[in-house]
């Protein structure tokens, strides 16, 4: 093929790119694929989740700037490009009843208008493949759900010059495939949980599986398993770069690396839209594209 392969990963906040599909992106970068992360919000309303940094007043007062620097570091580690859509973090409402979302936040934007900003990125970068979240957002954060909504509109809208005129949004382009990130799936969780128990180790997934049953989470169709175990260390390094969000001694890293690589050496996706012929299951996000680009 002669056309450059390009992958766009659309995420809600800085750090999402490192916890969802990061090893896949690093793998494709190593193969010469052009990879762009589009981050919808700045993570301005994110809490400081790393207990080692909680109470740091500078970080609390400058969280937007701090998270931007963390994103810069993670981007360099993964070897990807990155663009901000410029929307404001909605926060994760908590309580009963839930409080209203803050005025001007991403989740309250008009979907078609917000999608237009993503259309500009798609038409400029021209990715054959786009990854995003499913209709539940992967988990029900309002920004993740909104990311899904604008991704679906923008995937089609990038080719629609009537809805999004070229004079404002750039020359039309038709992406070929759209995937949902499904890395936090039950088969993977159960496999790693059992592997830890079999080795006489404490599993971090016991409570996860209990909550899975309690919330009756619907199982997704895993259409695509991308082999990328050799890039797990890069994934973890990028994740740790988001120091406000990730405790390097926390649950994310309690499964030994050799166990992860042996038991579950892939990252999973659900093919949501395809304009090319492909056979399922796949082991490549560019299946059906490489020979026809």
- The confidence score (pLDDT) of residue 216 equals 60
Buried b (16+ CB within 10 A) or exposed e, 220-256: bebbbbbebbebbebbbbbbbbbbbbbeeeeeebebe
* CATH 3.40.50.10320 residue spans of the chain: 6-184+221-274
Q: What angle do CA 216, 180, 195 make, to 5 degrees?
A: 60
- The confidence score (pLDDT) of residue 154 equals 98
Rounded Cα distance between 131 and 286, Å, is: 12
DSSP, res 271: E
Q: What is the DSSP string of 195-212?
A: HHHHTT---TTHHHHHHH
- The confidence score (pLDDT) of residue 1 equals 46
- The confidence score (pLDDT) of residue 293 equals 54
Task: Report residue 122 CA to chain centroid gap.
Answer: 16
Q: Provide the residue count of the chain.
A: 293
Residue ranges with strand state E in 89-215: 129-132, 177-181
Gap between the terminal Cα atoms of the chain: 6
Rounded Cα distance between 58 and 33, Å, is: 38
Written as tens digits, the pLDDT of the chain (293 aa) is 457 999 999 999 999 999 999 999 999 999 999 999 999 999 999 888 888 888 888 888 889 999 999 999 999 999 999 999 999 999 998 888 889 999 999 999 999 999 999 999 999 999 999 999 999 988 889 999 999 999 999 999 999 999 999 999 999 999 999 999 999 999 999 999 999 999 999 999 998 898 887 766 678 899 999 999 999 999 999 999 999 999 988 888 999 999 999 999 999 999 999 999 999 999 999 999 997 65
Q: By the 8 A CB rule, do 228 and 267 touch?
A: yes
Rounded Cα distance between 201 and 140, Å, is: 31
- The confidence score (pLDDT) of residue 291 equals 73
CATH architecture of residue range(s) 6-184+221-274: 3-Layer(aba) Sandwich (3.40)
Q: By the 8 A CB rule, do 293 and 275 touch?
A: no
Q: By the 8 A CB rule, do 89 and 45 touch?
A: yes
DSSP, res 218: P
16 annotated ligand binder = yes
Rounded Cα distance between 257 and 262, Å, is: 9
**Which residues, in sequence order, are bridge partners of residue 147?**
none
Q: Which residues, 6 or more positions from 106, have their beta carbon under 8 angstroms from its beta carbon?
A: 12, 40, 41, 87, 88, 89, 90, 114, 142, 143, 146
Q: By the 8 A CB rule, do 19 and 142 touch?
A: no
């Amino acid at each position: 093929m002669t056309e450059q392969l390009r992958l766009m990963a659309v995420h809600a906040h800085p750090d999402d790119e490192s916890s969802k599909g990061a090893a896949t992106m690093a793998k494709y970068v190593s193969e010469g694929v052009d990879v762009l992360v589009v981050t919808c919000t700045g993570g301005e309303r994110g809490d400081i989740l790393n207990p080692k940094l909680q109470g740091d007043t500078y970080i609390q007062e400058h969280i937007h700037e701090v998270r931007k620097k963390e994103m810069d570091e993670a981007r360099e580690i993964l070897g990807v490009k990155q663009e901000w859509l410029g929307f404001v973090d909605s926060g994760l409402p908590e309580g009963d009843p839930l409080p209203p979302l803050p005025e001007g936040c991403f989740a309250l934007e008009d979907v078609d208008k917000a999608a237009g900003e993503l259309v500009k990125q798609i038409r400029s970068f021209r990715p054959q493949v786009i990854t995003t979240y499913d209709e539940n957002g992967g988990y029900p954060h309002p920004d993740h759900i909104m990311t899904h909504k604008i991704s679906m509109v923008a995937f089609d809208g990038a080719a629609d010059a009537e809805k999004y005129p070229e004079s404002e949004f750039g020359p039309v382009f038709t992406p070929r495939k759209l995937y949902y990130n499904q890395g936090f799936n039950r088969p993977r969780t159960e496999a790693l949980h059992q592997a830890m128990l079999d080795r006489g180790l404490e599993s971090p997934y016991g409570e996860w599986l209990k909550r899975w049953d309690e919330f009756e989470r619907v199982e997704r169709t895993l259409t695509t398993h991308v082999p990328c175990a050799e890039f797990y260390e890069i994934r973890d390094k990028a994740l740790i770069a988001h120091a406000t969000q990730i405790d390097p001694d926390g649950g994310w890293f309690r499964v030994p690396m050799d166990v992860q690589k042996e038991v579950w050496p892939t990252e999973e996706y659900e093919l949501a839209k395809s304009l090319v012929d492909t056979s399922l299951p796949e082991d490549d996000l560019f299946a059906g594209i490489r020979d026809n680009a």
